[in-house]
Structure 1
């Protein structure tokens, strides 16, 4: 009992010292006089208070944008719009959140009354939805552009993305009630012809803007692989034929050329020509592991609006010079 009382008294003293220092603005000399200890003891008490979790220090860094790199990207790739967040030394743990802020900034700029928004899937798209401000219901339609991937990583799933967007901005949701990846091309073709799925696919062709992620064929950056839906051997096969990334499961090489093997034929997703017909195609992606994929998506015209970070953006501009586009005409 005596030990418990002693501990309570110690904790009470640490709280008192922490409040005087952090809330009342007293310096360590002033606190030492009040408590009746030396200044060095006050310093040790403040350290102990942090170690015990009595004091938590959080730094909220204002988000900044790199307008110089935005202009360079826009001019280099003929983009409609670009938003580049300056990470300022922030580690990768915060990258998704920052990409979400950048993507939501662009989405809210383009989302208007009567818009038909097509939504893809993945961690970056989910991060954008997290950052979208809840607002008064808008008369819009929100369409799932890719099939479902089951219960795993549910918040990244196309169905969940549409559902969460409807909860935040209102409107009517159109769901693609079919698996994203089918066992055979024949199964995928058959599902696309069923009435409910066909209706969602046709609505996807009417989209005025799209919210898209950019996937990688590198296993450690592939949402397909991380979600457990594509084995590493299948990603290896895609890389062997030149694929560096995908948008909505539509794979391409670093020059933006379409790579469509049997994997592509097994997907329930929007067709490339219908995706590229959408006037505003917002791609949200970042991290050095995604550089080749983003470069291919830009060159191939899969996206024409980009949200990324400044480190990734600089690397994209560097690789644009290292890997010339082989006289391929840029698509907007």
Structure 2
């Protein structure tokens, strides 16, 4: 063991690779840094050492176990599984709601996924953002969860898809627009048109109408879009439920696997142009890809193929789903 003095520091060097004085000093530096939240510069001035030495001592405190850092993930997310799915599909972010039990009611799973999505949206939105909203039972659940959180930052809300006839008023695109507008306290941009019209000429005419054109232009300003994923095989899509039979049959012949905000996709995520898609009044695939943050929300075994098609399509860059679906995406 060697005793000595180096500058202003008295040290004792043990036979190991870490000096005893370093261990004591590392403990002191770590306390000042992690507990008292002092900057490296402040610590350096207080102890009479360099900022570089402070940084090295912090590393030493971590490496030798003086400081133990534990990362506590929110209980409603599975970080490891999320990261594996994110890397596999090259997404910006994936949030996975872990399973509560093997026999969980699918409705409860869907509710937890909606709650996770609502919390995420509440964290990424900032005052002055523009929020885009599609439609569907999943987004109905997100709206309910947002309301329970007490609202969202003040921002404009844009209806991204025309109205679809349904007996459930809560699923109307305009009703979801109203609920999200109330949650944000901002302005709303409704799309006063049906999603499907009789022919292409009618669709072109409606898109040029002043109020509709204004909303479709506002889509280009959306910062965050929240989107549901519909499945065609097996059928689990509100769009399939209300489309004319001839359009559904054509979609099946063309190999439609999923629909996202009115965009039809095949199993590999390629967009399918059909007679129905030409008659739709909704956000285009090009507009979706231009939105900085597009959040796809879906869960359940019946949606797995549709979710895969959607993440492959590039229409979304963030996915919120359940544990079983995430595991299936990795198989």
TM-score when normalising by structure 1: 0.73
Q: How does 1:1-332 map to 2 (within 5 A)?
A: 64-87=76-99, 88-89=101-102, 90-132=104-146, 133=148, 135=150, 138-150=153-165, 152-218=167-233, 220-226=235-241, 229-318=242-331
Moved more, 66-75 or 278-287: 66-75
Supply the distance in 1 between the matched residues of 2:163 and 2:225 (Cα, whole angstroms).
Answer: 17
> 1:110: how far off?
1.2
Q: 1:219 to 1:263 in 2, by over 3 A?
A: farther
Conserved in 1, the CA contact under 8 Å of 2:256 and 2:266? Answer: yes
Q: 1:273 to 1:167 in 2, by over 3 A?
A: same
Moved more, 289-298 or 88-97: 88-97
Matching residue of 1:9: none
Moved more, 215-224 or 110-119: 215-224
> 1:237: how far off?
2.1
> 1:65: how far off?
2.3
Conserved in 1, the CA contact under 8 Å of 2:257 and 2:305? Answer: yes
> 1:172: how far off?
0.8
Supply the distance in 2 between the matched residues of 1:223 and 1:136 (Cα, whole angstroms).
Answer: 26
Please tell me whether Structure 1 or Structure 2 has the larger radius of gyration of its CA atoms: 2
Conserved in 2, the CA contact under 8 Å of 1:120 and 1:158? Answer: yes
> 1:68: how far off?
1.6
Tell me which stretches of 4 or more aligned residues in structure 1 moved more than 3 Å.
133-139
Supply the distance in 2 between the matched residues of 1:219 and 1:192 (Cα, whole angstroms).
Answer: 32
TM-score when normalising by structure 2: 0.73
Q: 1:136 to 1:275 in 2, by over 3 A?
A: closer
Supply the distance in 1 between the matched residues of 2:300 and 2:182 (Cα, whole angstroms).
Answer: 29
SS at match of 1:258: coil
Unaligned residue ranges in structure 1 (runs of 5+): 1-61, 319-332
CA RMSD, Structure 1 to Structure 2 (Å): 1.8
Supply the distance in 2 between the matched residues of 1:201 and 1:192 (Cα, whole angstroms).
Answer: 8
> 1:231: how far off?
3.8
Conserved in 2, the CA contact under 8 Å of 1:215 and 1:222? Answer: yes
How big is each residue's C-alpha offset from its partner over 1:87-112, in whole Å with a ceiling of 9 and x where there is no partner?
22212131321121121122112111
Conserved in 2, the CA contact under 8 Å of 1:219 and 1:225? Answer: no
SS at match of 1:205: helix
- The count of corresponding residues between Structure 1 and Structure 2 is 255
Conserved in 2, the CA contact under 8 Å of 1:216 and 1:246? Answer: yes
Supply the distance in 1 between the matched residues of 2:151 and 2:327 (Cα, whole angstroms).
Answer: 38
Q: 1:149 to 1:66 in 2, by over 3 A?
A: same
Q: 1:158 to 1:236 in 2, by over 3 A?
A: same
Conserved in 2, the CA contact under 8 Å of 1:135 and 1:169? Answer: no
